Amino acid sequence: MLSGGSLLVNGGVLNAGTGQARGNGGRLAIGLDGNGAAAVTVQNGGATASTVTAAYTVLGSDATSSGTLSLCGNGTSWTDAIDPNDTLATRGYILVGNEAQPFTVGADGRIRRRAGRA
């Protein structure tokens, strides 16, 4: 989980996918529940393209944080692969803008606290 700061994958591999030794994939979270901005850049390192694999990704945003994901260069890839061993869901997706806000804005423009939120 990268809740603040930056990560550069430059011609390398970041594997949180189902190819792990135990056979389960993991979550990559960028800018979720942090204090500021988090950025991940995955780029072609010249002779070698970068590859990122996860079971699912959360590219978040809330009142105190935000996430940015950039893919640059030929052959660079980001894959959220289905994990058949995931007991919650098989996932295989990226969730963009996971709003963890404790408030909503009504049709009348008034700000209201969400039910069940502190």
CA dist 98 → 29, 32, 101, 108 (Å): 10, 8, 9, 24
Q: Is residue 39 part of a domain?
A: yes
Is the pLDDT confidence value at 84 over 80?
no
The residue-averaged pLDDT of 69-88 equals 82
| Confidence tier at 113 by pLDDT (50, 70, 90) | low
**Residue 24 falls within a domain, yes or no?**
yes
Residue 79 falls within a domain, yes or no? yes
For residue 19, tell me if it sits in a domain.
Answer: yes
Q: What is the pLDDT of residue 117?
A: 44
pLDDT at 82 over 70: yes
Domain assignment present for residue 118? The answer is no
In percent, how much of the chain has pLDDT > 70?
A: 72
Q: Give the number of domains in the chain.
A: 1
In a domain, 105, yes or no: yes
For 65, phi then psi, to 5°, come to -150, 165
- At 18 the pLDDT is 72
Residues 3-61 have pLDDT tens digits of 778 889 998 888 877 766 666 667 788 887 766 788 889 999 888 889 888 888 888 77
Domain carrying residue 57: 5-113
Report the predicted TM-score, pTM, of the whole model to 2 decimal places. Answer: 0.70
Residues 6+ apart with CB under 8 A from 27: 1, 16, 54, 55, 56, 57, 58
Per the domain annotation, does 71 fall within a domain?
yes
Which positions ≥6 away from 60 have C-beta within 8 Å? Answer: 29, 30, 31, 32, 33, 66, 67, 95, 97, 98, 100
